[in-house]
Amino acid sequence: MKEKQTFEEDIKNLQKIVDDLASGKLTLGESLKKYEEGVKLAQGLSVVLNEAQRKVELLMKKEGKFSLEDFEDKDSKE
Amino acid sequence: MERNSPDLFLSEDQKSRHIYSVSEITRDIQVILENTFHGLWVEGEVSNFKAHSSGHFYFSLKDKDAVLAAAMFSRANKDIKFKIEDGLKAVCFGKINVYSPRGQYQLIVEKMEPQGIGAQQLALEQLKKKLAKEGLFDPGRKRPLTLMPFSVGIVTSGSGAAVRDILQILKRGASCVDVILRSVRVQGESAAQEIAEGINDFNKFKKVDAIIVSRGGGSIEDLWAFNEEAVVRAIAASEIPVVSAVGHQINLTLADLAADIFVETPTAAAKIMVDKKNTLLADIDSFKHEMEFSVQELFASLNNRLATLRHSLKSPWDRLSEKAQLVDELSAALKNNMVNYLKLIKERASAYIQRLEALSPLAVLSRGYSLSMLMPETGIIKNAARLKKGDKIKTVLEKGSFLSTVEEVIKDERETDI
């Protein structure tokens, strides 16, 4: 998932936006643009963390080659 | 033999056969063992130690090749000063006893003396020292987990309780985390090799942010694989951060020491991920608030500046009419004051005039009185004694006056005096 790969970068960007906004050195236009950008980032990050889908797979190895199989996750299915 | 019925068909072999009942042979063994082995000392390593609620101790004594069951009854163990636990090497004094219902023999321990640490424990200490010397347990080697491990590899038994616990916790608390399981044996001969291979395979496979090496709780023997060199080296060599989660109560395993993070249960390993997720969500939330606050602050300060500017931008005309209004107000007040002042003056003046009028001699004359003055006009005559016959006097009336000459002076005639 793309958002997961860029998660750390997105968090860093968000932190920078927060710091920039707090510095008080931005114009109103710049501030509003950054604010919008920051809110979008924050929402995206929350969505990724709150995601309800997860995969449970089994790592198999045959003749040195890896493959993934579904893992029958009986107990936590309920 | 007398006991056998004389059977002609029995062979010589069969004729000499003595058949024991289980009880008989057990009793015979008991007699032999108990008479032979009493008041003896046995050296071994304590294993599978259990303190029963009755106060009796049950355990095994073992060495490299054999195991001997042992029991130490409460009467014998109540004065023991040291703690008996698995791995303890000890010398025990007692006797062999045969427990017929189970057909088992055991050492009834009367006295126990510790003998330093057991051989297995000693081997462990030696391995620990060696690996520590190589720096495998250095705190400086520990790497932190990624900000959020979205993909976690687990090396454990696919049918064990550990994987179930981890999946449960993750599902409930951090369902954003994908799990890849590498199922291995966690107990027995090949366990250490399989665990080590699992860790290495995840490093080749990549695609996971963290590896959890795990097993549910068990005895020191059950967890032994996590003390083996192969596992410890695989953990230390892993480029992916490793969380060791081996259920144990007493001692740390060497796997714990080598891992980047260690926790005491599989559940706790999963909770690390859940905590990370919750912390991040809270962080993101406070980021949102900080941004809102900054923007609100900016608006407030802009508003302030706007108000200041608006004031200093007032047109000269506005300011002139402001002043004109002030002048109007002041002059109105002034006018008001003047009118009042004049009125006051006027009132006071007329009061003076009235008083003056009342005091004027002319007012007296108008009521029929007159004034007389000695000529040549030396002042008003108030006392007749000052006059003499022949003085000329001038008398003033309301209208006109006349001159006359004194004929006679009359003193003290109050009735006629003015």
**What confidence category does residue A76 fall into, taking pLDDT thresholds of 50, 70 and 90?**
very low
Domain membership of residue A55 as a residue range: 2-70
Instruction: Report the CATH superfamily, name and number, of domain B148-277.
Output: Response regulator (3.40.50.2300)
Is residue A18 assigned to a domain? yes
Question: Which tens digit of pLDDT belongs to each residue from B86-96?
Answer: 888 888 999 99
Report domain extents, chain B. Answer: 12-117, 148-277, 360-418
Neighbours of B242 (CB within 10 A): 29
Residues of chain B with pLDDT under 70: 1-10, 14-15, 81, 116-120, 122, 248-251, 357-359, 361, 377, 412-418
Find the chain B residues whose C-beta atoms sit closer than 8 A to any C-beta of A.
Answer: 146-148, 150-151, 153, 158, 164, 167-168, 170-171, 175-183, 201-202, 204-205, 277, 280-281, 283-284, 287-288, 290-292, 294-295, 297-298, 301-302
**Is B302–A28 a contact, with Cβ atoms under 8 angstroms apart?**
yes
H/E element, B4: none
- Total count of domains within chain A: 1
Tell me the nearest-neighbour CA distance from B304 into chain A, angstroms. Answer: 14
Contacts 24+ apart (CB under 8 A), B302-308: B302/A28
Question: Which tens digit of pLDDT belongs to each residue from A25-68?
Answer: 888 889 889 999 999 999 999 999 998 788 899 999 888 889 99
Is residue A13 assigned to a domain? yes
Q: Which residues of B touch A11 (CB under 8 A)?
A: 147, 280, 283-284
Most A CBs within 10 Å, among B194, B288, B301, to test the A interface: B288
Helix residue spans in B218-315 (DSSP H): 229-237, 254-258, 266-312
**Is A66–B177 a contact, with Cβ atoms under 8 angstroms apart?**
no
Domains B12-117 and B148-277 share a fold: no
Tell me the nearest-neighbour CA distance from A16 into chain B, angstroms. Answer: 10
Question: CATH classification of B12-117, choosing from 2.40.50.140, 3.40.50.720, 3.40.1710.10, 3.40.50.300?
Answer: 2.40.50.140
Is residue A12 assigned to a domain? yes
Is residue A75 assigned to a domain? no
